[in-house]
Amino acid sequence: MPTTLQDLQIDYDKPNWCPGCGDFGIWVSLKNAIVQLDLKPWEVVLVSGIGCSSKLPYWVKTYGFNGLHGRPMPVAEGIRLANNGLTVIVIGGDGDQFAEGGNHWLHAARRNVNLTLLIHDNQVYGLTTGQFSPTTNIGEKNKATPVPVVEAPVNAMQLALSAGATFVARGYSGDNKQETELLVEAIKHKGFSIIDTMQPCVTFNHHNTFAWFYERVYKLEEHGHDMTNKMQAFERAEEWPLRRPLNEGEKEKVATGIFFKEDRPTWEDGTPQIAQTPLVKQSLENIHVNPLLDELM
């Protein structure tokens, strides 16, 4: 039987995000993508860290693992090593992934591990009352941090491109149709996929709101973008976020869609022990541990 939304429904609990939170749109889009790809719930693993976004695995009936702040990627890579027949999706916020977890996903991108990293980017630490995150714009201030930020924000697209990610995209949680399409393509892609999804925080980020994004978002595919051209992808990524204060009357442009896509061998393809058959499906009949134990002990 084809997978349905009902198959992914958790009966005992419902999301407790703030009313109007952008996480709801990503949650719906992810479930829609799983249904469109007809992935069976027992073939999908959602791995998350800590933060509002990292609660998402609680509310999708698949396998899930909620771990340490910024550390879901090592767990996801371990899952891929043990059973590379599973679809593994890593979920984290901009703080979780661009601060605490930055070192982990950069190397996963370099290795081209065959998994998808879905980032909920609300430009603040939403779970802990809105402190600045690595993607907060220059000049922002709020109740949690009243001194305006002077640090240049992380450019997620350029970081992913330079790290070697083979699928680099930006989504927007206010556009469920596009977000679902991006997730479908990212999950289908054989290699490391990253989608940095702009997700307004209605409680703590009163600047980058849904209305703010609606005035600035445009789709790359409608403007002649070549997703196979890495240098063009870098140029598009340079448009936003700005690493300087805005000039008077200036308005940012926020591109969404697939910035870059290429095919190259994955980490799993180059690991002979799992290149043909997932580790969990391999026979143990010809494996004898006693000689190894004798040697090591």
Tell me the two tokens of residue 185. Answer: 């393509």
Radius of gyration of the CA atoms of the chain, in A:
20
Element (H, E) at 66: strand 63-66
Please give the pLDDT value at position 253. Answer: 94
C-alpha distances (whole Å) from 237 to each of 119, 168, 252, 283 are 16, 10, 12, 47
Element (H, E) at 261: strand 254-261
Please give the pLDDT value at position 140. Answer: 87
Backbone angles phi, psi at 219, to 5 degrees: -95, 125
Tell me the two tokens of residue 51. Answer: 């933060």
Residues 6+ positions from 280 with CB-CB distance below 8 Å: 82, 83, 85
Please give the pLDDT value at position 285. Answer: 78
Distance CA 2, CA 39 (A): 8
Q: Look at residues 192, 209, 173, 214 and name the one whose alpha carbon lies nearest to residue 32.
A: 173
Distance CA 17, CA 52 (A): 7
Distance CA 185, CA 8 (A): 20
Q: What is the pLDDT along the chain (297 residues), one digit of tens a residue?
A: 899 999 999 988 889 999 999 999 999 999 999 999 999 999 999 999 999 999 999 999 999 999 999 999 999 999 999 999 999 999 999 999 999 888 999 999 999 999 999 999 999 998 888 889 999 888 888 777 788 888 899 999 999 999 999 999 999 999 999 999 999 999 999 999 999 999 999 999 999 999 999 999 999 999 999 999 999 999 999 999 988 888 888 889 999 999 999 999 999 999 888 888 888 888 877 778 888 889 988
Please give the pLDDT value at position 113. Answer: 97
- Counting beta carbons within 10 angstroms of the beta carbon of residue 256, is it exposed (0 to 12), middle (13 to 18) or buried (19 or more)? buried
Distance CA 248, CA 175 (A): 29
Please give the pLDDT value at position 248. Answer: 87
Domains detected in the chain: 5-296 (3.40.50.970)
Tell me the two tokens of residue 206. Answer: 């009163």
Strands 167-172 and 254-261, bridge-based pairing: antiparallel
Please give the pLDDT value at position 276. Answer: 86
Please give the pLDDT value at position 166. Answer: 98
